[in-house]
Amino acid sequence: MKKLIYINAVAALLIIASAARPAHADNDDRVSCQRYAEIPVALASGQPAKYTVSGELCATEDERRAGTTVQLLIHGATYNHKYWDFGRFDGTRYSYARDIAAHGFPAFALDEIGAGDSSHPPSEQLTTDAAAHVAHEIVQGLRSGFITGIPFGKVIIMGHSLGSVVVWEEAINYRDVDGVIVTGAAHSITTKFLTSNALYPADKDPRFAHTGLDAGYLTTIPGTRTELYFVAPDFNPAILPVDEERKDLVAATELNTGLPIVTSTATLAIHVPVLTIVGGNDFTTCGPNPQGGNFDCSSGAIAATQEAPFYSRDARIHACIVPGSGHDVSLAVDHDLQVADAAAWSAAFVGQRNIGDRDDFENRRDFDASDRSLPWNDDLPWNCGGLAEK
């Protein structure tokens, strides 16, 4: 398998039921996370909901109310929902899901179909169309309250890497989200990433050799993840062995069906606000691509200008660059900057209703002064920007 990342889409259906596991609390910021298992899904409109997916909701008690804006988090290839809630290393918490909830936006992190605790259908069924349809079902389930019992008011869909392509596809085909956040992806894939040959059949890997999955499920070759996903010095070395140990699967079909949309203008069909967050040294995005281009990750305004031709005016495209970070911005030393970017953008372009009798969101916007929202920058932090001509 020589090419990694890829995409495409299908139709609609609703979630019917869910099963919850016990919650575990985080005492630092009143955020608790609860697991929801066996959520029934279909892979396309009109098909039976014969598969299930799992997810985890992180929220404060105040945020578990009807009408709140929720973020639906879609992980990238060879990850699962734990990418968004990775744990503590040397006293530092790496959890986008908990941190964004602490700043006003509850987060539902999904195990994509074919990964984590979700069902693993025959790999050839797992196109990006199918993945986008499953994401659509979860969006509808979050709005209706079928999944968590909370009918959320607005849904921001956020992806990482291949998950970002699934997010694009969901927003293009179903038009049922209020905002889109893309991380670790843009409308360019570097030549070095496409020729890295870092994936192989998971049945050849000691971690997955006895799972009985077909050879169309792939994982990363041992020893390749550091170059793909991290850039020194913006990572904690203690994360690397855990990242290797927790690696997950991706279907070759999902990868292969994703490529056309990455380099196409299909995202012109997205008519809600869009934010792109990329590490300044992202191996997959920043640099020369096979089309003869060179994606420049030197500033948010420059990245937004490069992305603008791929979006409608309604998208009001903005971009943020996490300086020095690699592909996995959620696992970078400077991961808090991604939280600041996403929280400020979500408040400015989608909104989070006041909770209770006070503006609790404002009370929780306690970023470092250097990360504070800047009124002259569309209320976004210093590392973000809109179109260069603004």
In a domain? residue 280: yes
Burial of 245 (0-12, 13-18, 19+ CB in 10 A): exposed
| Residue of 241, 42, 238 whose CA lies nearest to 131 | 42
Count up the domains in the chain and report the number.
1
Residue with the two structure tokens 């008519």 = 271
In a domain? residue 2: no
In a domain? residue 171: yes
Amino acid at 93: R
In a domain? residue 367: yes
In a domain? residue 110: yes
Which pLDDT value is given to residue 354? 43
| Residue of 220, 158, 191 whose CA lies nearest to 284 | 191
Instruction: Tell me if 11 sits within 8 A of 175, measured CB to CB.
Output: no
In a domain? residue 246: no
The CATH number that applies at residue 38 is: 3.40.50.1820
In a domain? residue 271: yes
Task: Using alpha carbons only, give the angle 172, 173, 179 rounded to the nearest 5 degrees.
Answer: 45
Task: Using alpha carbons only, give the angle 240, 27, 110 rounded to the nearest 5 degrees.
Answer: 55
Distance CA 106, CA 158 (A): 12
In a domain? residue 11: no
Contacts of 285 (CB under 8 A, 6+ apart): 184, 185, 186, 188, 189, 190, 278, 295, 297, 327
* 390 residues of the chain, pLDDT tens digit each: 333 332 222 222 222 223 333 333 344 569 999 999 999 999 999 999 999 999 999 999 999 999 999 999 999 999 999 999 999 999 999 999 999 999 999 999 999 999 999 999 999 999 999 999 999 999 999 999 999 999 999 999 999 999 999 999 999 999 999 999 999 999 999 999 999 999 999 999 999 999 999 999 999 999 999 999 999 999 999 999 999 999 999 999 999 999 899 999 999 999 999 999 999 999 999 999 999 999 999 999 999 999 999 999 999 999 999 999 999 999 999 999 999 999 999 999 999 864 443 444 444 444 443 455 566 677 799 999 998 544
Which pLDDT value is given to residue 14? 24
Task: Using alpha carbons only, give the angle 326, 329, 331 rounded to the nearest 5 degrees.
Answer: 100
Asked if omega into 233 is within 30° of 0 (cis), the reply is yes
Distance CA 271, CA 175 (A): 8
Whole-model pTM above 0.95? Answer: no
Domain that holds residue 157: 19-194+251-385
